[in-house]
Amino acid sequence: MAERSFVEEVKKLRLSGGDVFRGEGILAVTKALLESGVSYVAGYQGAPISHLMDVLADAQDILAEQGIRFENSASEATAAATLAASVNYPLRGAVTFKATVGTNVASDALANLASGGVTGGALIIVGEDYGEGSSIMQERSHAFAMKSQIWLLDPRPNLPSIVDAVKQGFDLSEASNTPVMLQLRIRACHVHGHFIAGDNKRAKFTLKDALENPQRDVGRIVLPPASFVHEQEKVRERWPAAVRFIEERKLNEFFSEDADDIGIIVQGGSYNTLLRALERLGLADVYGNTQVPLYVMNVAYPVIESEVIRFCEGKRAVLIVEEGQPNFVEQNLATILRQAGSTTALHGKDMLPVAGEYTASELLKGARSFCERYECLAPLPVTPPVRKVIPLKEVAAIGVDAAPEPAQPSTSLAEVVHARPPGFCTGCPERPIFSAMKLVERELGPHHVSADIGCHLFSILPPFNIGNTTMGYGLGGAGAAALNAPAGKRAISMMGDGGFWHNGLTSGVANAVFNKSDNLTIVVDNNYTSATGGQDILSSNAVNKTRSTGHEIERAVRGVGVEWVKTLRRTYDVAGMRDALKEALTTSKKGPKVLIAQSECMLNKQRREKPLVRKAIADGKRMVREKFGVDSDTCTGDHSCIRLSGCPSLSIKPNPDPLRSDPVATVLDSCVGCGVCGEVSHAAVLCPSFYKAQIVSNPSRWDLLRERVRAAIIGWLQRGEARRRETYAF
């Protein structure tokens, strides 16, 4: 069960011809898949395409009606290999994952798929996690498309264009026997817009047909001599076929082609941002009518030579807006223009940033310098540097693009606006693991920690500051492989349950067994792939009608030959965690050690349990709620507890004591009562200020009786004590 429920969104998948679909870009893609007559969809979850997977997981009935097979693949490699079904059969299939990390994992299968080519349309939908908010290395999917010769679509980021790209993508794939990659930037995946829906289409040829009538063509299998033939086929047959298709269907767009003797070539994904920049410069209107000719490459690869030459014909200069590096398209254009003997000047990364996201302000700057250079815009008057006079109020000058630069933050503003790094949620079961590691660090000194991908990677940030490297999803164990030598300390590897099943079981654990490693691997088992939105995996506890769950990590680990395995079923037991870690790091037993730290992801747990608890209370059932708190009169304001936890619910507030000034710790109402602060203050011998309040709703008769007796006696004693103090009060 994913973090979000998509019941409402699923309804949208049923819209038919003429209905208006309103929603997110990635859900529009999902609807477009149904309208394209796909037979199967597979993928691996991750931002920004998780919602595609989640909504399909919640739409089992629609999938059944349409005869569509939906797979939660074990990895992106699995997903890509799933497209093999389109090699021999006229089956349309789509796979999806996060790029470029997913593309990296999938590249083996993608290369094999692209070599032999496809019969049925094969679409690879990649969510390009690039720029602001990205959590991965900054690279381009473009390189994968080029190296394997997969056509790359990069449509304009509005819902009709995106939906159209899906449908055209399948046709293009079939017309050129080549898989097609549809690249959607993160903002396009999450953009809310609308399009006119079509009817869902059921495939004529079904998976059942394929299974019952197997077809085979040795020419499609990647083995010499066929592989050499494939390479020739790619350039002699498939490429020209694709070019013809793209030209005929006019997948790329020309706007105001002859309006001026300069022009801008832009990848579809950057179109809206560029348009806004031109509009601010007074060179376009809000509807996209532009004075500067535009050539919009909704197909980023291959570059269509004829169209480029047509666009550049008679132009003094063109600017290519190509986000990310290397500048593949710019190089390609240069070759085309050079070989055509064109005199059109080519600009690109000389006027735009070489690396980094093409934000609105960057494109504004780049477009301005291009237009000024070719006298399409009057240069901004150079304002002489004004000496700052302090009491004057700074007001941005008036004009269309008067304030394109972010206002220079004065140093003091930079000082008072702190970064807000992502961190563990309130009650996260992973926090106590790192609190325990901090405590072990105090006793045994720091260790080399090979981190992994997942929420647990937040340990590298304050307040924990634990973790040395991260080499990829599930590769925490592998990342410590070389550090396997006789030494006074062992390396520690982190791995999430998601990464474990993705590949960590073999790449990390089995590898450690085979290579006789002596290191420790901590597998964080929180029942879901939490960082991607809480999807189920093999070891999930949830009962899932369409998936097989409940396969224990410990059994898998023992199965590949690990002997020292410990499962802690409650990560919140900080002292227990600390002791287990210490034992794993100091035991004289040889061989890899695996510590499985189990507790359910709190985000998912709360979502599951909150309504149940509310209902139980309403039904008059006895329920106990726990909340932690800090006594402000015993807290001395050192904040050790915060440095060992970083819980969003553990904060500070002004000191109520008139004699003290340092703020005291406080527990906010968002506390879910996980107990880590209490456990940490115990294990670290911190301070006696923490208390746990247990609030009983619908108390039993016994609760009430006991409460009455206690209140009577304790109340009497307290009143006496208060009276004594009152005597001395003034």
- Work out whether 672 is an interface residue with other proteins (CB under 8 A): no
- Percent helix, percent strand, percent coil in the chain, to nearest 5: 40, 15, 45
Q: Which stretch binds other proteins (CB under 8 A): 55-63, 111-119, 204-212, 674-682?
A: 674-682
- What are residue 335's phi and psi, to 5 degrees? -65, -45
Per rule CB under 8 A, count of chain residues that contact other proteins: 135
Smallest distance, other proteins to C-beta of residue 696, A: 4
In DSSP notation, 491-557 reads -EEEEEHHHIIIIIIIIIIIHHHHTT---EEEEEE-SSBTTTT-B--TT--S--TTS-----HHHHH
The helix (run of H) or strand (run of E) holding residue 710 is helix 701-728
Q: 89 vs 473, which CB is nearer to other proteins?
A: 473
Which of positions 140-159 make contact with other proteins (CB under 8 A)? 157-158
Burial of 312 (0-12, 13-18, 19+ CB in 10 A): buried
305: left (phi over 0), alpha (psi -120 to 50) or beta: alpha
Q: 48 vs 592, which CB is nearer to other proteins?
A: 48
- Work out whether 629 is an interface residue with other proteins (CB under 8 A): yes
Q: 34 vs 568, which CB is nearer to other proteins?
A: 568
Please answer whether residues 63 and 32 qualify as being in contact, where contact means their C-beta atoms are separated by less than 8 angstroms.
no
Which of these, 520, 521, 556, 519, lies nearest to 537 by C-alpha position?
556
Which of positions 501-540 make contact with other proteins (CB under 8 A)? 531
- Work out whether 704 is an interface residue with other proteins (CB under 8 A): yes
- What are residue 463's phi and psi, to 5 degrees? -90, -5
- Work out whether 386 is an interface residue with other proteins (CB under 8 A): no
Smallest distance, other proteins to C-beta of residue 234, A: 35
Q: CA 457 to CA 463: how far, in whole Å? A: 13
Which of positions 31-70 make contact with other proteins (CB under 8 A)? 47-48
> 16-31 burial, b for 16+ CB within 10 Å, e for fewer?
eeeeebebbbbbbbbb
Contacting other proteins (CB under 8 A), which of 58, 279, 525, 600? 279
Smallest distance, other proteins to C-beta of residue 441, A: 11
**Chain mean position to CA 3:** 14
Residue with structure tokens 């990635």? 26
Residue 725: CB atoms within 10 A of its CB come to 9
Sequence-ordered alpha helix ranges (H) in 353-486: 360-373, 411-416, 431-444
Smallest distance, other proteins to C-beta of residue 451, A: 14
Smallest distance, other proteins to C-beta of residue 555, A: 30
Residue 276: CB atoms within 10 A of its CB come to 16
Q: CA 161 to CA 154: how far, in whole Å? A: 10
Which of positions 428-487 make contact with other proteins (CB under 8 A)? 455, 458, 462-463
Contacting other proteins (CB under 8 A), which of 423, 427, 476, 498? 423
The helix (run of H) or strand (run of E) holding residue 102 is helix 101-116
Which of positions 6-25 make contact with other proteins (CB under 8 A)? 22
Verify cis geometry, omega within 30 degrees of 0, for the bond prior to 100: yes
Q: 229 vs 624, which CB is nearer to other proteins?
A: 624
Q: 272 vs 493, which CB is nearer to other proteins?
A: 272
- Work out whether 261 is an interface residue with other proteins (CB under 8 A): no
Which of positions 342-381 make contact with other proteins (CB under 8 A)? 359-361, 364
Smallest distance, other proteins to C-beta of residue 702, A: 10
Which of these, 489, 472, 506, 464, lies nearest to 676 by C-alpha position?
464
Contacting other proteins (CB under 8 A), which of 271, 295, 367, 441? 271
- Work out whether 707 is an interface residue with other proteins (CB under 8 A): yes
Q: Torsion angle of alpha carbons 709, 715, 718, 722, nearest 10°?
A: -170
Binding mask 392-421 for other proteins (x = CB under 8 A): -xxxx-x--xxxxxxx-xx-xxxxxxxxxx
Which of positions 153-192 make contact with other proteins (CB under 8 A)? 157-158, 186-188, 190-192
Q: 310 vs 622, which CB is nearer to other proteins?
A: 622
Smallest distance, other proteins to C-beta of residue 21, A: 13
Contacting other proteins (CB under 8 A), which of 422, 446, 550, 559? 422
Which of positions 546-585 make contact with other proteins (CB under 8 A)? 575
Please answer whether residues 96 and 127 qualify as being in contact, where contact means their C-beta atoms are separated by less than 8 angstroms.
yes
- Work out whether 314 is an interface residue with other proteins (CB under 8 A): no
- Work out whether 29 is an interface residue with other proteins (CB under 8 A): no
User: Directed axis angle between helix 25-35 and helix 159-176, to 10°?
Assistant: 40
- Work out whether 273 is an interface residue with other proteins (CB under 8 A): yes
Contacting other proteins (CB under 8 A), which of 425, 449, 480, 483? 425
Contacting other proteins (CB under 8 A), which of 14, 349, 608, 627? 627
- Work out whether 231 is an interface residue with other proteins (CB under 8 A): no
Which of positions 679-698 make contact with other proteins (CB under 8 A)? 681-688, 690-697
Burial of 224 (0-12, 13-18, 19+ CB in 10 A): exposed
- Work out whether 132 is an interface residue with other proteins (CB under 8 A): yes
Q: 465 vs 515, which CB is nearer to other proteins?
A: 465
Q: 71 vs 679, which CB is nearer to other proteins?
A: 679
